[in-house]
Structure formats: C-alpha cells, structure tokens
Amino acid sequence: MHKFIRKNIKDFDKKTLAVYFLLRFFVIVVMIIQIFRSNWEGVFVCFLTLFLFLVPFFIDKKLNINLPTLLEIIILLFIFAAEILGEIQNFYGIIPYWDMILHTINGFLCGAIGFSLVDILNENKKLRFKLSPIYVALVAFCFSMTIGVMWEFFEYGVDKVLKYDMQKDKIITSISSAALNPEGENVPVVIDDIVSTSIFYLEDGTLKGFRVDDGYLDIGLNDTMEDLLVNFVGAVTFSVFGFLYIKNREKYKLVEGFIPSSKE
C-alpha cells in the first residue's frame, strides 16, 4: 500500500499528503515508544492506524470515488484521535467527553457517506428516477445510525468475548430496578444518593472483593446510550445540511467538502 502511495503521489492533494505524512511520523514515534515499553497491544494499534490511514487513498484511486480534501483530512485526524490519542494516550479517560466528541463526528461523517450513496444515483442522468431531498436526507440519517448501532454491537462483542472495556463503565449515584423489589413485583425500586457499593467474586475458590466509592458501577449501558445519542445529533445535523444542499446547491456549496462523489 505504501508503494501505491509513492506511485500515485502526484495525483493526491498536497494538503492531504502533508497531514498524512505528519500523522504517520507521529504514529511511528509512538510505536517505537510502545516497543521499548513492551506494550505489544499498543504496537498493534499503531500498525492498525497506519493501515487505516491508507483507506481514504485506496477508496480514491481503486474505487473511483472522489473524496474531497476536507473529508480526507478529517478522516485522517479522526483515526489518529480515536486510536493513538484515545486508546494509547488514554484521552478517553483523561479528557472529559472525548469519546462523545468522536462519536458525534462519526455520526456526521457517516451521514455524509450515506448521503453521497444516494445523491450519486440521484445525479446520474442514466437513471430514470429522482428521489426527493427529504428522502435522501432520511437515507443519510438511517445509514449513519445503522453504522453507529453496528459499532456498539462490535464494542459489546469485544467486551463480552475478549473481556475488554470498550463500553466504558461509569460510576453513577442512582438506579431504579424492578429486580430489587422485595415482593418480586414489576415495580422498580428507586435508590438515590448511592454512597458506595461492594463487589465480591471468587478466584481459585477464595472470596475476594473491593469497594466502589462515590456510587454504583454501571457496566457500559450509559456509555452506549450516550454514544448513540451523540451519533444521532451528528446524523441529524448532516441530514439537515444535506437537505438544504439539495434544495440549493450553490448556496450551500460548503457541504460539498464532506460529500464523496463518483469520478465518472
């Protein structure tokens, strides 16, 4: 793939290449550091990031789809922010709302991709049907939300099978659950102002445990729903702009910076 970049380097936008090589340099530096630390999982994440960096170029040249410069740069920065800053540098834990910001951007970008899939057909003069702007916007929204849901399925599967924590656990101070009803009725018991909880488990037949201060440990539900909610915000935002763009392409020409198009 790197030979592919060198061979076609003249065909790519200079701004995109500058961002690509700069981020690639940072990733390689981080990978070397992870090797010295014997953090092989981090090394794998760096290799994965370098591979993902090549995807926009592959789409542009091999699939005959034109990715606007702005979209390519945002995709590269998004990959770097999610994998290197988020996973290796732990921005997910250090910076509040880092995960929510990325999921919002993801919803916006996936909305743009879903929009382009239909808009390309809409603009094809060989086809005999014409879809309304509201329908195209709805498809963009549904496509973005579907990608968001599939990603949450992936996170849940990784956590369940590989025992990771992609669906980040959070400390909450109140719960309502019918499972705690002493009469066994389907009436939730509300518990507010939880001070702490204790978790016990068996290891080699020995009872062990630890205390969670400041509240109750939620196992990923709040994180998942927050991710889907901000994905919804990003999807709706682009769908609105996409609708306005179809209605008046000259007035909202800026939207073209986010929409892939067919080179044919």
Please provide the DSSP assignment of 103-138 as one string.
HHHHHHHHHHHHHHHHHHHHH-TT------HHHHHH
pLDDT band at 74 (very low <50, low <70, confident <90, very high): very high
Region 60-87 average pLDDT: 88
Q: At residue 5, does pLDDT exceed 60?
A: no
Q: What is the pLDDT of residue 105?
A: 94
Tokens 């919804």 appear where?
232
55 or 230, greater pLDDT: 230
CA dist., res. 25 & res. 11, Å (int): 21
Q: At residue 217, does pLDDT exceed 60?
A: yes
Region 171-195 average pLDDT: 88
pLDDT band at 171 (very low <50, low <70, confident <90, very high): confident
Give 6's DSSP letter: H
pLDDT band at 83 (very low <50, low <70, confident <90, very high): very high
Q: What is the pLDDT of residue 1?
A: 52
Could you give the percent of the chain with pLDDT greater than 70? 91
Which H or E element spans position 229? helix 221-247
Could you give the percent of the chain with pLDDT greater than 90? 40
Q: Count of alpha carbons within 13 Å of 175, Cβ hemisphere only?
A: 19
Q: At residue 261, does pLDDT exceed 60?
A: yes
Q: What is the pLDDT of residue 124?
A: 63
Q: At residue 241, does pLDDT exceed 80?
A: yes
- pLDDT per residue over 116-142, tens digit each? 888 777 666 665 556 788 988 999 999
pLDDT band at 254 (very low <50, low <70, confident <90, very high): confident
- pLDDT per residue over 137-157, tens digit each? 999 999 999 999 999 999 999
CA dist., res. 148 & res. 231, Å (int): 7
Q: What is the pLDDT of residue 207?
A: 83
pLDDT band at 102 (very low <50, low <70, confident <90, very high): very high
- How many CB atoms are located within 10 Å of the residue 216 CB? 16
Q: At residue 6, does pLDDT exceed 70?
A: no
Nearest to 26 by CA among 93, 94, 89, 105: 89
The token duo for 47 is 């290799």
Residues forming a β-bridge with 177: 189
- The torsion defined by the Cα of 41, 43, 49 and 54, in degrees rounded to 10, comes to -130
